[in-house]
């Protein structure tokens, strides 16, 4: 059983930056593909970005490509999401998730992720 704890959310002005962290415990972190999802009020949870267990492959939602960067440090059991040039529409609760099944590129499918954190709120103001 893997436990995931997100941190780093907060209130930021449009155009600003935040870095989210997700610390994992209770499992072998390097055995999981990791991803970030987000959910805005009244909307479905959506894929933001993912990274394979080796860290060699990443992919992103089109809405964040070029602005967000996902990375991981397997020695620290942590995955990060660097968010730059934040927009009002990035406001959401951000969740990290872990997938036991190895993939060539990280899955964008919410249902394939086995473990989830509790989420961290990101609010972008004008």
Q: What is the pLDDT of residues 74-85, one digit of tens each?
A: 999 999 999 999
State the pLDDT at residue 66: 98
The token pair at 99 is: 């997938």
State the pLDDT at residue 50: 98
- Distance separating alpha carbons of residues 21 and 7, to the nearest angstrom: 5
pLDDT digits (tens, 9 = 90+) for 7-63: 999 999 999 999 999 999 998 999 999 999 999 999 999 999 999 999 999 999 999
Q: Are 51 and 72 in contact (CB under 8 A)?
A: yes
- As a whole number, mean pLDDT of residues 79-103 equals 96
Residue 83 DSSP one-character state: E
- As a whole number, mean pLDDT of residues 75-104 equals 96
Q: For strand 10-13 and strand 120-125, is the pairing parallel, antiparallel, or unpaired?
A: parallel
Which residues face 7 on adjacent strands?
21
Measured in residues, the chain has a length of 126
Residue 78 Cα to chain centre, angstroms? 11
Give the three-state DSSP class for 21: strand
Helix (H) or strand (E) holding 27: none
Q: How confident is the model at residue 102 (pLDDT cuts 50, 70, 90)?
A: confident
| Residue 5, pLDDT above cutoff 90 | yes
| Residue 1, pLDDT above cutoff 90 | no
State the pLDDT at residue 86: 98
- As a whole number, mean pLDDT of residues 67-95 equals 98
Residue 55 DSSP one-character state: S
Q: CA 90, 96, 102, 107 torsion: positive or negative?
A: negative
């Amino acid at each position: 059983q893997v436990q995931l704890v997100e941190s780093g959310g907060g209130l930021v002005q449009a155009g600003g930056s935040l870095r989210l962290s997700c610390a994992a415990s209770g499992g072998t972190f390097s055995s999981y593909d990791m991803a970030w999802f987000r959910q805005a009020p009244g909307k479905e949870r959506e894929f933001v970005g993912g990274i394979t267990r080796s860290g060699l492959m990443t992919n992103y939602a089109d809405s964040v490509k070029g602005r967000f960067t996902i990375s991981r440090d397997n020695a620290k059991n942590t995955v990060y999401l660097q968010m730059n040039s934040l927009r009002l529409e990035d406001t959401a609760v951000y969740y990290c998730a872990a997938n036991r099944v190895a993939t060539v590129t990280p899955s964008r499918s919410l249902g394939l992720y086995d473990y989830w954190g509790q989420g961290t709120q990101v609010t972008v103001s004008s």
